[in-house]
Amino acid sequence: MSKTLIRGAKVLGGEALDVLVDGETVAAVGAGLDADGARVVEAEGQILLPGLVDLHTHLREPGREDSETVLTGTRAAASGGYTAVHAMANTFPVADTAGVVEQVWRLGRESGYCDVQPVGAVTVGLEGKQLAELGAMHDSAASVRVFSDDGKCVDDAVIMRRALEYVKAFDGVIAQHAQEPRLTEGAQMNEGTVSAELGLGGWPAVAEESIIARDVLLAAHVGSRVHICHLSTAGSVEIVRWAKSKGWNVTAEVTPHHLLLTDELVRSYDPVYKVNPPLRTEADVTALREALADGTIDCVATDHAPHPHEDKDCEWGAAAMGMVGLETALSVVQHTMVETGLLDWAGVADRMSFRPAAIGRLAGHGRPVSAGEPANLVLVDPSYRGAVDSARFASRSRNTPYQGRELPGRVTHTFLRGRATVMDGELV
Amino acid sequence: MPLFPGGNPRTSGHLISAADLTRDDAVRILDTAEEMARLADRPIKKLPALRGRTIVNLFFEDSTRTRISFEAAEKRLSADVINFAAKGSSVSKGESLKDTAQTLEAMGVDAVVIRHGASGAPYRLATSGWIDAAVVNAGDGTHQHPTQALLDAFTMRRRLIGPDAGLGRDLAGRRVTIVGDILHSRVARSNVDLLNTLGAQVTLVAPPTLLPVGVEGWPCEVSYDLDAVLPKSDAVMMLRVQRERMNAAFFPTEREYSRRYGLDTQRMDRMPEHAVVMHPGPMVRGMEITAEVADSGRCTVTEQVANGVSIRMAVLYLLLGGSDHANANNTANAAGTTARTEEK
Ligand SMILES: [Zn+2]
The C-alpha atoms of residue B307 and residue B149 are separated, in whole angstroms, by 11
pLDDT number for residue B176: 98
The mean per-residue pLDDT over the stretch B98-104 comes to 86
Tell me the average pLDDT of chain A.
97
Which range among A147-156, B43-52, B296-305, B307-316 shows the weakest confidence by mean pLDDT? B43-52
Residue B154 reports pLDDT greater than 60: yes
Domain spans, chain B: 9-145+305-343, 146-303
Domain spans, chain A: 3-47+373-394+401-427, 51-359
Q: Do B144 and A188 touch (CB under 8 A)?
A: no
Q: Which helix (H) or strand (E) holds B303?
A: helix B301-320
For A3-47+373-394+401-427, CATH number out of 2.60.40.10, 2.30.40.10, 1.10.10.10, 3.60.70.12 equals 2.30.40.10
Counting Cα atoms < 13 Å in the Cβ hemisphere of B182 gives 31
Distance from CA of B142 to the nearest CA of A (A): 5
Name the amino acid, one letter, at B27.
Answer: V
The C-alpha atoms of residue B227 and residue B245 are separated, in whole angstroms, by 23
Residue B323 reports pLDDT greater than 70: no
Give the Å distance between the CA of B118 and the centre of ligand 1. Answer: 24
Divide the 428 residues of chain A into consecutive groups of 10 and give the mean pLDDT of each group. Answer: 92 97 97 92 97 98 94 98 98 96 96 96 97 97 98 97 97 98 97 96 97 98 97 98 98 98 97 98 98 98 96 92 98 98 98 98 97 98 97 97 98 98 96
The C-alpha atoms of residue B325 and residue B330 are separated, in whole angstroms, by 9
pLDDT number for residue B343: 31
Strands, sheet with B175-179, edge to edge from the N-terminal-most edge strand: B221-223, B201-205, B175-179, B235-238, B276-278
Confidence band for B89, pLDDT divided at 50, 70 and 90: low
B196 reaches A (C-beta below 8 A) = no
Number of Cβ atoms within 10 Å of the Cβ of A264: 13
Which candidate in B213, B222, B244, B245 is best for mutational testing of the A interface (most A CBs within 10 A)? B213
Q: What percent of chain B has pLDDT over 70?
A: 90
**B9-145+305-343 and B146-303 have identical folds:** yes
pLDDT in tens, A192-223: 999 999 999 999 999 999 999 999 999 999 99
For the question of whether the overall pTM of this predicted structure is more than 0.95, the answer is no
pLDDT in tens, A295-313: 999 999 999 999 999 899 9
Q: What contacts B277, CB < 8 A, 6 or more positions away?
A: B235, B236, B238, B263, B268, B271, B289, B293, B296, B298, B299, B300
Q: Which CATH superfamily is domain A51-359 in?
A: Metal-dependent hydrolases (3.20.20.140)
The mean per-residue pLDDT over the stretch B46-61 comes to 93
Give the Å distance between the CA of A86 and the centre of ligand 1. Answer: 13
Confidence band for B337, pLDDT divided at 50, 70 and 90: very low
Residue A126: closest CA among A71, A72, A169, A181: A181
Buried b (16+ CB within 10 A) or exposed e, A4-24: bbbbbbbbbbeeebbbbbbee
Residue A147 gets which letter from DSSP? E
- A146: β partners: A173
Coil, helix or strand at residue A67:
coil
Q: Do A315 and B121 touch (CB under 8 A)?
A: yes
- A203: β partners: A190
pLDDT number for residue B248: 83
Residue B284: closest CA among B211, B205, B181, B206: B181
Q: Which CATH superfamily is domain B146-303 in?
A: Aspartate/ornithine carbamoyltransferase (3.40.50.1370)
A186 reaches B (C-beta below 8 A) = no
Q: At what angle do helices B23-40 and B64-76 cross, to 10 degrees?
A: 80
Tell me the average pLDDT of chain B.
89
Give the Å distance between the CA of A152 and the centre of ligand 1. Answer: 7
The CA-based dihedral angle spanning residues B98, B100, B101, B107, taken in that order and rounded to the nearest 10 degrees:
140
The C-alpha atoms of residue B178 and residue B192 are separated, in whole angstroms, by 9
pLDDT in tens, A340-369: 999 999 999 999 999 999 999 999 999 999
Give the Å distance between the CA of A305 and the centre of ligand 1. Answer: 9
Say if residues A320 and A327 touch (Cβ distance below 8 Å).
no
Rounded to the nearest 5°, which phi and psi values hold at A182? -70, -35
Coil, helix or strand at residue A416:
strand
Confidence band for B95, pLDDT divided at 50, 70 and 90: low
Tell me whether residue A350 is one of the annotated catalytic residues.
no
Distance from CA of B302 to the nearest CA of A (A): 28
- Complex ipTM value: 0.84
Confidence band for B102, pLDDT divided at 50, 70 and 90: confident
Which range among A152-156, B102-106, B180-184 shows the weakest confidence by mean pLDDT? B102-106
Confidence band for B88, pLDDT divided at 50, 70 and 90: low
DSSP character string of B103-171: HHHHTT-SEEEEEESSTTHHHHHHHSSS--SEEEEEEETTTB-HHHHHHHHHHHIIIII-TTTTTT---
Catalytic residue among A54, A155, A298, A303: A303
Classified by CATH at the fold level, domain B9-145+305-343 comes out as Rossmann fold (3.40.50)
Residue B335 reports pLDDT greater than 70: no
Which residues of chain A have a CB within 8 Å of the CB of B98? 313-314
Which candidate in A266, A269, A309 is best for mutational testing of the B interface (most B CBs within 10 A)? A269
The C-alpha atoms of residue B13 and residue B134 are separated, in whole angstroms, by 6
The C-alpha atoms of residue B97 and residue B286 are separated, in whole angstroms, by 38
- B222: β partners: B204
The mean per-residue pLDDT over the stretch B12-19 comes to 96
